[in-house]
Amino acid sequence: MTQPATVAVDVGGTKIRAGSVIDGVLAHVRSAPTPATAGARAVLDTIAEVAAAVIAESSGSRGAESLAESEWRIGIGAAGVIDPETCTVVSATDSLPGWAGTELASELSARTDLPVRAVNDVHAHALGEAVTGASRGARSSLLVAAGTGIGGGFITNGHLLTGRNSAAGHIGHVPSAAAARLDCPCGGTGHVEAIASGPAILNTYQRLVHGDDSPASAPTSAPNSRSGRDGTAPIPANTRELAAAASAGDALAVRAFETGARALGSALGGIVNVLSPEVIVVGGGLAEMDETWWTPLRAAFAAELIPAASGTPLVKAELGQDAALIGAASLWNGEHSQKKETH
Amino acid sequence: MTQPATVAVDVGGTKIRAGSVIDGVLAHVRSAPTPATAGARAVLDTIAEVAAAVIAESSGSRGAESLAESEWRIGIGAAGVIDPETCTVVSATDSLPGWAGTELASELSARTDLPVRAVNDVHAHALGEAVTGASRGARSSLLVAAGTGIGGGFITNGHLLTGRNSAAGHIGHVPSAAAARLDCPCGGTGHVEAIASGPAILNTYQRLVHGDDSPASAPTSAPNSRSGRDGTAPIPANTRELAAAASAGDALAVRAFETGARALGSALGGIVNVLSPEVIVVGGGLAEMDETWWTPLRAAFAAELIPAASGTPLVKAELGQDAALIGAASLWNGEHSQKKETH
């Protein structure tokens, strides 16, 4: 009797990515664009199609006994606030119209005849790094996903902390002095995401280019900050271009990343003083940056730690976009199938 | 066969308080001054003496079969960072010289012939409120102890979060814009404890009286802030006198408490966005304040919450100084005796 196989699916606002996880190994990865504007039903149909394709491809590559559908389960990591007990989308952003309220388990079981478990995609990312990634073996870990937003997932003794309303892990929404008076995507103001996310760093850069030395720009910001711009280079239009400009020596681009990294590092230091995880794992697009981002992040992080927490390792995530798939599949592990319900 | 009885001991820098917990009921409470300056050995001797007195008194009030010492256990909530697995003092402040490194279990078992379990006093406070206090029945809760320091304890599914180096729960050491550049007792700067603790609020008041409108004083602070002082009243020398002055209408005293309460409320809102507990319980000396402190605390707290966390209840602790005793005794509950080891 072979070990049951899982189809893991990562449902994002722009892409649906799936793969098979058999005996803990991810394979047969496929992806499709998320038909976000077409509504939740279209997104569910696409998830079912991609999952079926993964099963067909992987089943074909195994012994005949594996073809029995009863062997397969589906594990989902999805954008939005997901209640892992009811597998329902509690709330979602405008990137997925009509997504809020979707009953993932019943809708997908109806389309695939397979049992379904689901969790928020960042929570799945945290589980993945804890199962086979940078925090494997740690008794507790905090995963930080730093990109277009700042999210996270805290795991202790194999338990994913989901919390009241499944809202736990919103580490981008702690107060940050560097973000004073800046609007946050959550509707509040002054949260670290408003100065440390990719889009926020681009906004800081724009303010610096226009000579606006608001409290949100780096304390070291100087009146002649414009001089940092190379007048001949095009102005970066997105975070990726801004990262390239920083690598090319654009002083204001460097300062924008430093400002965001310092704010995030300081916030993470404070969170470590509260949670005291054995390790902090940093993933997401910003984690792909060079020392321009990592050095101020580590320095600001270390500066906030109380003596009892000093030396807490801050490391880079290891699994990239596969983390959410491995984490979603882990919802079916004997270990996590009970613990996913942990509050 | 009666249920085993526990002697619960709360070891603070100035007072050692103990009582019996039998069938979940606290009784025969006794206390003695902590011989702090005499060193750890003297403190351990006093703990053993008070515990023996509690056992003698409570045993005398029960059936003869209860006299068997084998029935009794000791549960300790002690100042300092305590490792609940080894029952060792990991670190401590100057208020208890030589306390760091003390092996509570072996030292006290040697003095009493009783089994010993120990945890940090604020963690014990959190356990107590969760067992029979304001957070009883909640799947997760955060206890905030706001007084001479700002500490806390997070409990989820009956598990006390102790963390790496048993350092979890230091909620007073998250960054606060209102505390910018203020020294924190932890050795860092800008932590919320540096503006929100009782001593910090007194410091803010002193700055206001001297007309120092530093960033740490209330944003609403005006140049003519001195006018708020009633020239005939004595200048408050401690937090208790300052609270009385605030109740008597001293404008600067009110502003000092508002400044600390706003900073703490904001920090707690950010922490709730990360932990999403079902309830936040606020205890400690500051929780005894009137609406002068509670109103700005609640307002700043609510302002930070993300939509998914809005409505999280922020309530006052119910058990007062008995919480640490009931929590320390709970280390011996079948439920907590395993879970105390949770990381």
For residue A28, what pLDDT is reported? 95
Report the domain count for chain A. 2
In the predicted model, what is the mean pLDDT of residues B87-93? Answer: 93
Do A23 and A121 lie in one domain? The reply is yes
Q: What phi and psi, each to the nearest 5 degrees, are found at residue B110? A: -65, -30
Q: A306, B271: Cβ pair inside 8 Å?
A: no
DSSP string, A226-290: GGGS-TTSPPP-SHHHHHHHHHTT-HHHHHHHHHHHHHHHHHHHHHHHHH--SEEEEESGGGGS-
Q: A308, B165: Cβ pair inside 8 Å?
A: yes
Select from B191, B192, B306 the residue whose CB has the most chain A CBs within 10 Å, as the one to mutate to test that interface.
B306
Task: Give tens-digit pLDDT for B309-343.
Answer: 999 999 999 999 999 999 999 999 874 433 444 44
For residue B121, what pLDDT is reported? 97
Select from B164, B304, B341 the residue whose CB has the most chain A CBs within 10 Å, as the one to mutate to test that interface.
B164
Residue A19: which of A81, A79, A77, A92 has the closest Cα?
A: A77
Q: What is the bridge-based pairing of β-strands A116-120 and A88-91?
A: unpaired
Task: Give tens-digit pLDDT for B233-259.
Answer: 678 999 999 999 999 999 999 999 999
Model confidence at B73: pLDDT above 70: yes
Task: Give tens-digit pLDDT for B96-118.
Answer: 999 999 999 999 999 999 999 99
Do A206 and A332 lie in one domain? The reply is no
Task: Give tens-digit pLDDT for A121-160.
Answer: 999 999 999 999 999 999 999 999 999 999 999 999 989 9
Distance from the B7 Cα atom to the nearest Cα atom in chain A, whole angstroms? 29
Closest by Cβ to B164, choosing from A177, A303, A312: A312
Do B225 and B238 lie in one domain? The reply is yes
What residue type is A256 in one-letter code? A
Closest by Cβ to B139, choosing from A180, A308, A343: A343
Do A96 and A191 lie in one domain? The reply is no
Closest by Cβ to B91, choosing from A90, A159, A308: A308
Supply the range of the domain harboring residue B42.
Answer: 5-130+322-339
Instruction: Give the chain A residue whose CA is nearest to the CA of B189.
Output: A304
Which range scores top for mean pLDDT: A274-283, B18-27, B224-233? Answer: A274-283
Do B88 and B12 lie in one domain? The reply is yes
Segment B36-41 long-range contacts (CB within 8 Å, at least 24 positions apart) = B36/B95, B36/B96, B36/B97, B37/B97, B39/B97, B39/B98, B40/B96, B40/B97, B40/B98, B40/B99, B40/B102
Q: In percent, how much of chain B has pLDDT > 90?
A: 82
Q: Which residue has the higher pLDDT, A13 or A1?
A: A13
What separation in angstroms does the CA of A85 have from each of A6, A82, A320, B70, B190? Answer: 18, 9, 26, 44, 39
List A32's β-bridge partners, or say none: A16
Do B151 and B278 lie in one domain? The reply is yes
For residue B51, what pLDDT is reported? 97
Q: A174, B343: Cβ pair inside 8 Å?
A: no
Q: B277, A342: Cβ pair inside 8 Å?
A: no
Mean pLDDT of chain A: 90
Closest by Cβ to B343, choosing from A91, A156, A305: A156
Closest by Cβ to A275, choosing from B168, B186, B270: B168
- For residue B127 the two structure tokens come to 């356990």
Select from B154, B264, B274, B315 the residue whose CB has the most chain A CBs within 10 Å, as the one to mutate to test that interface.
B274
Residue B190, classed as helix, strand or coil, is: coil
Do B282 and B333 lie in one domain? The reply is no
B213 falls in which pLDDT band (50, 70, 90)?
low
A66 falls in which pLDDT band (50, 70, 90)?
very low
Closest by Cβ to A307, choosing from B163, B187, B269: B187
Model confidence at A13: pLDDT above 70: yes
Report the complex ipTM: 0.91
CB neighbours (10 Å) of residue A250?
21
Q: A273, B174: Cβ pair inside 8 Å?
A: yes
Q: A306, B186: Cβ pair inside 8 Å?
A: yes
Q: What phi and psi, each to the nearest 5 degrees, are found at residue B156? A: -135, 130
Do B198 and B304 lie in one domain? The reply is yes
Q: What is the bridge-based pairing of β-strands A15-22 and A314-316?
A: unpaired
Do B81 and B215 lie in one domain? The reply is no
Q: B190, A169: Cβ pair inside 8 Å?
A: no
Do B196 and B117 lie in one domain? The reply is no
Q: B175, A267: Cβ pair inside 8 Å?
A: yes
**Which string of b and e fits A278-310 if b means at least 16 CB within 10 Å?**
bbbbbbbebbebeebbbebbbebbeebbbebbe
Residues listed for chain B: 343
Q: A165, B276: Cβ pair inside 8 Å?
A: yes
Residues of chain B found within 8 Å of residue A267, distances taken between Cβ atoms: 175
What residue type is A189 in one-letter code? T
List A189's β-bridge partners, or say none: A183
Question: A185: domain CATH number?
Answer: 3.30.420.40
**DSSP-derived secondary structure letter, A53:** H
Tokens 């005006």 belong to B222
Do B104 and B217 lie in one domain? The reply is no
B46 falls in which pLDDT band (50, 70, 90)?
very high
A144's enclosing H/E stretch is strand A140-146
Do B150 and B230 lie in one domain? The reply is yes
